[in-house]
Structure 1
Amino acid sequence: MDNSNKLTVVKSNAIIDAGYYLSIYENRILLTCISQINSMGEIGLNDVFTVSAQDLIGLIGLDDKNTYKQLKKAVDRLYERSVTIDLPNNEILKVRWVSSIKYIKQAGTVELKFSQDMIPYILQIRREFTQYRLKNVLMFKSNYSIRVYELLVKWSGDHKTVTVEWLKKQFQLETKYTRIGDLKKYVLDIAIKEINQYSDMNVQYSQIKQGRNVIAFKFKYGLKHPQPKKSKHNFNDHIHGISRAEIEKNARVGESYSEAAARLAKLKNTH
C-alpha cells in the first residue's frame, strides 16, 4: 500500500515555528496523523487518528517484522513529548502533542488523540498553514531533515538567513553542539544531503561570520521541478465566476485555484 503520493501534510506555521524535538520515528507517526486532517474541517477532542504498522511499512518502503514493536515504542515516547510555543507578551506555552493512545495489537495499529491545547494550533491551518506531500519526508533518516524541510517549505522566496541561536532554539539544541563544526556535521549537513536526495527541493547553505565567529546561516533553496507560474489575479477577481476569497475559504488540500474554482462552480450549477 503506497498512499504517500496522495497524503498531504498541513501544519500550522505556529507549530513549525515552535521549539520541539522528535525522533525520526515519532515524527513519521505524527506526520501520518496530521496528513489525515482535512484543513477545511474541524477537530474534536474525541477525534481519533489511526496509524498502522502495515501502513508505515508501505509508506516508508520497509519490510520489518518488528515494525509494530517499534511503532508502540515510538508512540510511548511521543506521549511524553511536548511543544514550546512563544505567545504574545513574552508568554510561553508548553503543550503535549497527544492526550491519549490506545494499542490494538491484534490489528497492528495504535490510535491517538491530540491534546486539547494542541487542537487550536492544528485548526489554525485554516488561516495560516504550510503543506507538503508526505512522500517528501518519509524517507528521511534524520529528524532534523524533517524540521529543516518544513522551514524551507514555510519560508517564502528562494533564500533565508537565520541566526545560529535561533536555529538551535528551534531544534532544542541550546546545550548541544557548542562547536559550529559539530552543528554542521550532525545536523545541517545530514539534513541538506537528505533533502536534496529524497525530497522535491534542492537546498544549500553558507555561514555568515562576525569576526571569527559564525553567527548565522544563509539557506538558498528551490523546487527541483518548478511548477508553471499561475496567472496573477487581484483579490476581487473571479475564476469560473467564483471569487478568490470564496476559493480560499472552501478549497481542499492540494487543489489549485483553478481546480477549486471549477469544483465550486459545478456545485453552484447543480443547486
Structure 2
Amino acid sequence: MARPVEENKNVIQSYMLTAARYDFSVYEKRILYRLVELAQAELQGKDFVEWIGMKVETNLFGDKDITMPVRCILANEEDKNYVLAKKAFKAMSSRTIEQTKGNVWYLDHMLERVRVNLGTGVAKFRVSPNVWNIVLDFTKGYRKYELKTTMQFKSVYSMRFYELLSGQTNPLKYSIEEFRKMFSLEKKFKAVADIERYVLEVAQKELDESSPYSFSWERQEVSSRGRNGKKVVGYTFYPKYIQKNKDPQLEKKELQAKVGNIAGAYGMLDRAVSDYLLYNLNMTKEEINANKALFLTAQQTLPNLVEHLADLRERAVRSGKGTGWIINGLKGKLKEIKDLEEL
C-alpha cells in the first residue's frame, strides 16, 4: 500500500522528552515523534487525519488507544524495513518512564498491549495517561521542530541534536559525564575520540546536509599530564541556522503566522535581512518594528548588513549577551561610520 503524501508541519515537544536520558533506536524515536504529533493534534482539538491511518481513542480510564500503520514510522517510500519497525514496537513496550507526583512515584511502560496485523501492517497499542501527560508537559519548556525532517534522519544522534538545537540561539554546554548520560554513551564509546568520530561528526554532517539547524562545537579542556597535555572535560555546542535546508512552504506558513504580510510594517527590509532577524536572532514583529528605523538605516549604510549582524550575534553568543547587545552594537557601528564621514 503506497504511503499518502504527508504535509510537513512543525510539532512541539516537551523539553522533558528532549533532555531525557534514553537509548532509543531510530525507529523507536520515530514512534515517539508520532506520539508527540498525535498528542499535539488532540491538544489543539483536532480530529486527527485518518487519511494516513492514525487514530486516537480515549477509554473510560483515560488510556489512549492508538491505531498507527507501521509505514508511519518508516523514513520514506524506499524504507521497507518492517522487521526493524516491528522490533521497535517490541522494544518500546519494554521501556519504562517514571515520574514523581507529590508522595507517589509512578512507573509506566511507554507502550502497552501492542498488536501488529501482519496482513494489513497496522499497529495498535495503548498509552497510559501518565505517559501521555509527560508528552504534553511543557512546564519545563519545549522545542519546536519539523516533523518530516526528524523522520528522515538516519542517525539517532542527529535526531537528538536536532531536538536540542531547533530554535536554539544560545550555546549549549555539557560536561563529558552529562553528555554521556544524556546520549546513553557510558558503555558505547569510552574514548573521547570515538565520541567525536561516531557521534558529533556523524550528527553534524547529517544536520549540515538536511536540517535547518546544525552546530559547531568546541572542546572544554583542562591541563593534564596525559600525552597531549590536555584533558577533554566537556563540550560547547554553538547552534547555527541553515536557511537553504528550511522547508520553503513551512517557512512561508510560519512567516505569515508570525509577522503577517512581509510587505507590511517592515516590508522595506531586504528579505535576507528580515529572515536573519526572524530566524537567526529570533526577533518578534514588535521588536523589529520598534527598531525599524535603525535596520533601514543600517541596510542603506552597510551593503553586507547580514554579515555584520552575524558577526555581532557570534560575539554576543560567546559573551552571553542578548538581542539588546546586538542592537546597541549595530548603533555603535553606524555611529562609527558617521563620525568618520564627518572628519
Query: What is the TM-score normalised by the length of structure 2?
Result: 0.58
Q: 2:191 corresponds to which residue?
A: 179
User: 1:11-160 to 2 correspondence within 5 Å?
Assistant: 11-38=13-40, 40-41=43-44, 44=58, 45-57=62-74, 60-64=75-79, 66-83=80-97, 95-125=108-138, 128-153=141-166, 156-160=168-172
Q: 1:267 corresponds to which residue?
A: none
Letter in 1 for 2:183: F
1:99-150 per-position Cα deviation (integer Å, ceiling 9, x unaligned): 2312123321112322343222123137732221111212211111111111
CA change 1:76–1:147 in 2 (3 A) is same
Structure 2: 5+ residue stretches without partners:
46-55, 224-229, 244-274, 288-343
**Conserved in 1, the CA contact under 8 Å of 2:27 and 2:88?**
yes
1:126-184 per-position Cα deviation (integer Å, ceiling 9, x unaligned): 77322211112122111111111111127x42322211111111112223312100111
SS at match of 2:68: strand
Deviation, 1:80, is 1.3
SS at match of 1:140: coil
| Structure-2 separation of matches of 1:168 and 1:84 | 20
**Conserved in 1, the CA contact under 8 Å of 2:111 and 2:125?**
yes
SS at match of 1:169: helix
Structure 1: 5+ residue stretches without partners:
234-271
CA change 1:179–1:129 in 2 (3 A) is same
CA change 1:182–1:84 in 2 (3 A) is farther
1:159-214 per-position Cα deviation (integer Å, ceiling 9, x unaligned): 22211111111112223312100111111111111111121113111111011110
SS at match of 1:106: coil
Which structure carries more relative contact order (alpha carbon 8 Å, separation 6+)? 1
CA change 1:217–1:95 in 2 (3 A) is farther
Which of 178, 197, 207 is matched with 2:209 structurally?
197
Letter in 2 for 1:141: K
Which of 146, 159, 168 is matched with 2:180 structurally?
168
Q: 1:232 corresponds to which residue?
A: 286
CA change 1:126–1:75 in 2 (3 A) is same
| Structure-2 separation of matches of 1:70 and 1:163 | 33
Q: 1:220 corresponds to which residue?
A: 238
CA change 1:34–1:112 in 2 (3 A) is farther
CA change 1:159–1:127 in 2 (3 A) is closer
More helix by share: 2
CA change 1:82–1:159 in 2 (3 A) is same
Worse-superposed segment, 98-107 or 140-149: 98-107
SS at match of 2:188: coil
CA change 1:98–1:51 in 2 (3 A) is same
CA change 1:2–1:130 in 2 (3 A) is same
CA change 1:136–1:116 in 2 (3 A) is same
**Conserved in 2, the CA contact under 8 Å of 1:51 and 1:111?**
yes
Between Structure 1 and Structure 2, whose CA radius of gyration is higher? Answer: 2
Which of 188, 191, 200 is matched with 2:200 structurally?
188
| Structure-2 separation of matches of 1:103 and 1:140 | 24
CA change 1:73–1:4 in 2 (3 A) is farther
**Conserved in 2, the CA contact under 8 Å of 1:137 and 1:198?**
no
Give aligned-pair identity as a percent. Answer: 23
Please provide the CA RMSD for this pair.
2.9
**Conserved in 2, the CA contact under 8 Å of 1:100 and 1:112?**
yes
CA change 1:4–1:179 in 2 (3 A) is farther
Query: What is the TM-score normalised by the length of structure 1?
Result: 0.72
